[in-house]
Structure 1
Amino acid sequence: MDDLKIRRKCEDMIAYGYGVLKQFPKAERHVLSQEIRTTMWALLRLIIICNRRYFKKTTMQELDAELDLLRSQIRIAQKLGFLPFKNYEVWSRHLDEIGRMVGGWFKSLNEQGRG
């Protein structure tokens, strides 16, 4: 059931992200904004793939790396002034929650011996 929750949380994060990305400057909508959208969709794709696979360790590592990349992209967007601090804070909370869920999922896989 955890994987369904994480999928829902990721979808919520994508919906939030799209609203925030609309506020980016026009010059950045097709650069950093597009990279962030691509990373968000890759994150959701990896969650779905990981849910379907029996051996999940490699996909979980890719998922963790993609989440880290998204965190960095959001942090850079905030530092460059494209993302207001309040939006950065909310988006970071979404990512932290997803990160905790990924960690719990990974831990449960290791306990089951299905890595």
Structure 2
Amino acid sequence: MLDIEKSVLQFPKRHQHVSGQQLRQQIFKVVQLASRAWCKPAERLTLVEALDEAIIDFRITFQLAKRLQAFASFGQFEDLARKLAELGREVGGWKRQLHPKGQNAVSRAKPQRASTLSTPSASTCEVIP
């Protein structure tokens, strides 16, 4: 978020107010959703899916800003693009972790405790075949 803010400050004036403001708002939404997903385990799946969508929306605006040549240099864009790709991979991994699929998927049910025998004598009896 800080890197986006620094980049937008270097945008030409004609891009700061529209493209820059959109980038700021969308990256703030990404940060909010990531924070909520981390802090609210009960809602994590829904929030991570919303986070993934917010990153996709941010990428669209980010690419548009590049096409409009709003960034001070291609190097600045490239650095931010790498960070955005890394963020996308992290959120994708988080999403896959919450959505296990396939034949060997881990069960989402909570593990159950071992059964306890009702009486002490029941645990000391020998089993006769």
> Shorter-chain-normalised TM-score: which range?
0.7 to 0.9
Deviates more, 1:56-65 or 1:89-98: 56-65
Any idea what the Cα deviations from partners look like across 1:46-68, whole Å, max 9, x if unmatched? Answer: 00111122132221121011101
**2:4 alignment partner, one of 9, 12, 17:** 17
Q: Which residue number in structure 1 is paired with residue 47 of structure 2?
A: 59
Runs of 4+ in structure 1 deviating by more than 6 angstroms, as ranges, are none
- Counterpart CA distance in 1 for 2:79 and 2:3 is 9
Give structure 1 stretches of 5+ with no counterpart: 1-13
User: Cα offset for 1:82?
Assistant: 0.9
* Higher RCO structure (Cα 8 Å, ≥6 apart): 1
Q: CA RMSD in A?
A: 1.6
Identify the residue that residue 83 of structure 2 maps to in structure 1: 94
Q: Could you say what secondary structure the match of 1:40 adopts?
A: helix
| Aligned pair partner of 1:74 in 33, 58, 62 | 62
- Does the aligned pair in 2 maintain the 1:75–1:88 contact within 8 Å? no
State TM-score, norm by structure 2. 0.72
TM-score normalised by L of structure 1: 0.80
Task: Judging by fraction of residues, say which structure has more helix.
Answer: 1
The equivalent position to 2:34 in structure 1, one of 47, 50, 54, is 47
Aligned length: 101
Runs of at least 5 residues in structure 2 that lack an aligned partner in the other structure? 101-105, 110-129
Pair member with larger Rg: 2
Amino acid at match of 1:65: E
